[in-house]
Amino acid sequence: DTGVSQDPRHKITKRGQNVTFRCDPISEHNRLYWYRQTLGQGPEFLTYFQNEAQLEKSRLLSDRFSAERPKGSFSTLEIQRTEQGDSAMYLCASSSQGIPSTDTQYFGPGTRLTVL
């Protein structure tokens, strides 16, 4: 078990550029989540996949954000036309089969995005 991995760990970009982050969940986990965390705050839910299906999206996820999980394994989160307000830590988490209300989510180390 190598845990949840995310790439890159850090990304610095200029306003207006597009960025893409990757998350590799724990291999046997079928559920994958994206969260955003700003300094001094708890993680905020962005979106949720079960296998390849995106089942829930937060209203925080504007049209500039899109997430995919094409084969039900790794996932990508793309932000188009980045804004300074997008600067945050983007966390990925995964969990396995079980009742969604009780399963334990395992978090990756996150991708820290800085938009200049």
Partner 1 sequence: GQSLEQPSEVTAVEGAIVQINCTYQTSGFYGLSWYQQHDGGAPTFLSYNALDGLEETGRFSSFLSRSDSYGYLLLQELQMKDSASYFCAVRAYSSASKIIFGSGTRLSIRP
Using the rule CB under 8 A, is 43 a contact of partner 1? yes
Using the rule CB under 8 A, is 70 a contact of partner 1? no
Q: What share of the chain is helix, strand, coil (3-state, %, to 5)?
A: 5, 50, 50
Using the rule CB under 8 A, is 100 a contact of partner 1? yes
Using the rule CB under 8 A, is 41 a contact of partner 1? yes
User: How many residues of this chain interact with partner 1, rule: CB under 8 A?
Assistant: 26
φ and ψ at 84, to 5 degrees?
-60, -30
Show Cβ contacts of residue 27 under 8 Å, excluding neighbours closer than 6 positions. Answer: 1, 73
Using the rule CB under 8 A, is 108 a contact of partner 1? yes
Between 17 and 51, name the residue whose CB sits nearer to partner 1: 51
Between 22 and 80, name the residue whose CB sits nearer to partner 1: 22
Tokens of 13: 């970009």
φ and ψ at 15, to 5 degrees?
-50, 135
Span interacting with partner 1, options 21-29, 62-70, 71-79, 96-104, rule CB under 8 A = 96-104
Using the rule CB under 8 A, is 26 a contact of partner 1? no
Query: How would DSSP label each residue in 31-56?
Result: EEEEEEE-TTS--EEEEEEETTEEEE
- Tell me which residues touch partner 1 (CB under 8 A): 4, 31, 33, 40-45, 48, 50, 55-56, 58, 91, 99-102, 104-110
